[in-house]
Amino acid sequence: MTFFPPFGPQGGLGPQGVPGQQGPQGGPQPPPSPPPQTIPPQPLAATFAVDPGAISRCMFRYTYIWPRSGPGFWFYPVFVGRTSVSGFRWNGFFWMFSGFDLGRIESFSCF
């Protein structure tokens, strides 16, 4: 008997079984368009570390990240672990896959 995942024989699941966009080899794909041109206002509440449950609500959504050091940037998360997040970071020209520690995030806002 052959078992197919819930989204058909090709899988259709993102990292760790999360539904999402899949590439030809089954890996996550960047968003189809650049991020919004307007940067949202930064939330006032800063934390010691971002809760994985909070940022997981931003999976597969345009998310603006304010890191503890350095300039803010647009991000498109595709995986959230206990201590890290990975996805696509906008470099001003195209999306690049990257990941970083949740403790390095001061705040975030997603759309």
Q: Where are the domains of the chain?
A: 47-111
The pLDDT of residue 44 is: 82
Domain made up of 47-111: CATH architecture: Roll (2.30)
Is the entire prediction scored with pTM above 0.85?
Answer: no
Torsion of CA 92, 36, 57, 85, to 10 degrees: 0
Q: How far apart are CA 11 and CA 17, in angstroms?
A: 9
Q: pLDDT tens, position by position, for the chain (111 residues)?
A: 333 333 333 333 344 444 455 555 678 999 999 999 999 999 886 667 789 999 999 999 999 999 999 999 999 999 999 999 999 999 999 999 999 999 999 999 998
